[in-house]
Structure 1
């Protein structure tokens, strides 16, 4: 038995010597398993951080893309806003011209063509407004909405509730869901 034990010890020493001989010339920090574990843990942490950074970058890129798509859609939808505001004054003047023509002159054969031409132009402007999403704001008879109406004067009225619009002084318009120009209105108040 002691021979077996001695032989086993000799074999272990021979293996240890062979391993030691093989490991000669290898840097010691490579052989340090505790250092290797720390380095592996650090690399794994760096990898997790890099993965997280990539996910954040992807999310940010997607958010930027969505914002740009929304900005492009808004630009397309509301590109005519400035031009539409300018054309509103033309539409107002056309409506004033029509309302200024007395009824007896409307029936005059000499002015019938002129009146029908002005009316046709007004209808065409309304048609173009509708095709671009420009709509007139309803006002008369409705309660004052500060998001769509601008109260210019208060009129004493026994017939209408206080805060109700009794007269439209200038038409207001919306372009899609945005205010283009508020309606300028006269609002009822309690009589004195």
Structure 2
């Protein structure tokens, strides 16, 4: 037998082992791909679960947002009504109980707001924050630094960490800008 024939016999004999090895390599590759796909699917499932939990938590926390906005107008009207009562009527015995009742209603409404995470935004004397305040007018003044809130026209409110309604404010402007 020649040397070439010996090589052919060995190669032919090894062929099933090579084919088996290639098949095993392909199966191992497919298994690795399947494992990776399972890991990605598990990660995606976990992300979806977290997102749904956060959405549900936000829905619970902010479910009353629309109702709270509507109640702010009630609070504003009650506050305006109390401010409109002249001092002499506040002292009149006939109106004293009415005034006391309105003030108690205002305190109870504020307490309910607080229990539900609705808080008034501080504005007067603060620097204008466009995320919490809405500047309606600039007033010339030498008493306050430009950009400082000098008047609150309507109170602003937050619900938890979100803006419910911006405070409507007047902002200080340097006095010399008026004369120019």
Asked if TM exceeds 0.5, the reply is yes
Paired with 1:49 and 1:154, the residues of 2 have a C-alpha distance of 65
1:101-112 superposed matches below 5 A: 101-112=85-96
- 1:52 is displaced (CA, Å) by 0.5
| Corresponding residue of 1:172 | 156
Paired with 2:81 and 2:36, the residues of 1 have a C-alpha distance of 67
Question: Could you give the per-residue CA deviations for residues 45-69 of structure 1, whole angstroms, max 9, x where no partner exists?
Answer: 1111101101111111111111111
| Corresponding residue of 1:160 | 144
- Does residue 132 in structure 1 map to residue 116 in structure 2? yes
- 1:173 is displaced (CA, Å) by 0.2
Paired with 2:33 and 2:126, the residues of 1 have a C-alpha distance of 60
Runs of 4+ off more than 2 Å: none
- 1:98 is displaced (CA, Å) by 0.1
| Corresponding residue of 2:107 | 123
1:61 corresponds, among 32, 36, 45, to 45
- Does residue 39 in structure 1 map to residue 6 in structure 2? no
TM-score (norm 2): 0.88
| Corresponding residue of 2:7 | none
SS at 2:151's partner residue? strand
| Corresponding residue of 1:91 | 75
SS at 2:112's partner residue? helix
Question: Could you give the per-residue CA deviations for residues 19-54 of structure 1, whole angstroms, max 9, x where no partner exists?
Answer: xxxxxxxxxxxx822211111111111111101101
Structure number with larger C-alpha Rg: 1
| Corresponding residue of 2:54 | 70
Compute the RMSD of aligned alpha carbons. 1.2
Question: Could you give the per-residue CA deviations for residues 68-97 of structure 1, whole angstroms, max 9, x where no partner exists?
Answer: 111111111111111100100000000000
Number of equivalent positions: 163
SS at 2:145's partner residue? coil
SS at 2:152's partner residue? strand
Unaligned runs of 5+ in 2: 1-14
1:190 corresponds, among 170, 174, 180, to 174
